[in-house]
Structure 1
């Protein structure tokens, strides 16, 4: 039975009611998504870890490489990876390139020619920092794809499950509709760009030609170095980029003109809020029942893209006012402002806020944790000096 209560009367403006209701819906969806994510095992958070045996880990591939006399050495810093790979005859795997700064990425790319560096799902920011002639062409879902190229590793593997980003560029060998490309450069490391991490995971390694493809890509040299960098590196001094460096010259002028037009339109259409109105506020249903019902619907429909969009929308709704940005702000402007405030690399911010939606529940858990950490980094209060003033 629906509980009832004696109606009470409040006075508030219609505009504030609509705004508050919209915020309530955003919070409700975020809570439902969190409830769905919390049902997953906490052991699934170390994605692509060569020591992790859960579906999203890569222990099976590490064991397979070891059985073929290609031992895997796991490191967590770029310095360790560069030091171990300096002698050559090494394959370096970078599962989260967006967590590395521009200087670290270029150090890996400048390793000797007897080194292969495999970047897993690098985004546009990572490609810009690498300073290579490679761009993102499209983004798609993970599916079984024919190699369609003469690369020995792909030709011997046959069909494999790939998707995510598709890349294009000059002087590259493109396979699997661009979801795997190889850039072979003289005197420097061979670079491999993999559009999706799926072939490396325990969950699908044994399907189709995933194992043969992963083993071929990572066994090109004697040893394998796995750079497992789960947290973003601090931004190096001199690497911060201003908005003017990222945008064409005509963009600022256009933005100023649009801002002036918006102010004029607001002044023209502006109205004072109407007089407060009285409205009944009966108790209809407990909020916990609504949250549980919404969570069950999301889980049954496997609506991961919608849940990810709700999480990202709620995070942006909290971060934009703090940074003085609006809902119409350009994504690059938002990423640069958040990166400057939080100390995270712009590449990591862009991946979490605007990257492809997660393809499984584990990815949704990782995204929720990353958005929580990013929001906390932006909203943390500034340090206080000895005089009691913010420094």
Structure 2
């Protein structure tokens, strides 16, 4: 059987198995009992490598939510134990150890691995790309996930599912103000993914560091600036203690998806009811993480500002230059990489269509209510 057919069959399973699992979950019963007899379902215990420091409760919590739901829906017969970064694999090696089969599954961000292929940006977030809502629409209903799963299977022997979203990110911490393109020249900045490649072309010296190393690098002056996630997680890392200026928007990550990656050989060994459980658990983790960030970031931002952090908006000059470089870069990738072009052409068309729809309806509503807040009642 061809790899792509194997993935298609394994990833989506049968409608009956998925329906049985979801119905059981909704009714509060044990889906293992509904999907197959208890004696037929194996006991499985997986370790999960992650890219996340233990202190980041929402991101690492997304991996834990996924694991908890898998256990609950399988009646405790299928358990997964997430480990913080470095416990069983270096934080930027999760895809590698899962691909090799050294660990059956991982939780990470795909753009950490764009050195393998620029396609890896699509699964997380592309500069000037999709918001969280738009990203989910492309992945779940626009064909994006199926295309990425086919690519992952052929390149890495891995299948992946969205399992978290940080929401629109901030634009990073700087030890000095950045007003123009000339201010970026020679700046040492921690920024991964394709956003890092764009910044590099704008004169920045780019470094990719795991989250747990950012604070020290800023504190010692090894780097001049760093982006991480947003106010809630940035505050936890203490970045406000080593950099004064906090920029927005995070144009390189308008809606970053994190994902569960599973070794394809291990995935194909799972009973169909377990595969359905995994997909459902990942879906829940994806929604829950985004909801948590949306509710916690504003309060954290207020604390940071009250503590002396100075908010700055990227200048139109920087944003315009970054956008131009971004799409020139995409055109270069598409011209030289057939895999990138195949997905990019579809993604770009989807982006244009959903931008037009959201601009007509959602954005018009948001502009009105943000500019015309209802007066507080007294």
Q: Who wins on radius of gyration, i.e. which is larger?
A: 1
TM-score of the superposition, structure 1-length normalised?
Answer: 0.28
TM-score of the superposition, structure 2-length normalised?
Answer: 0.29
The structure with the largest helix share of the pair is 2
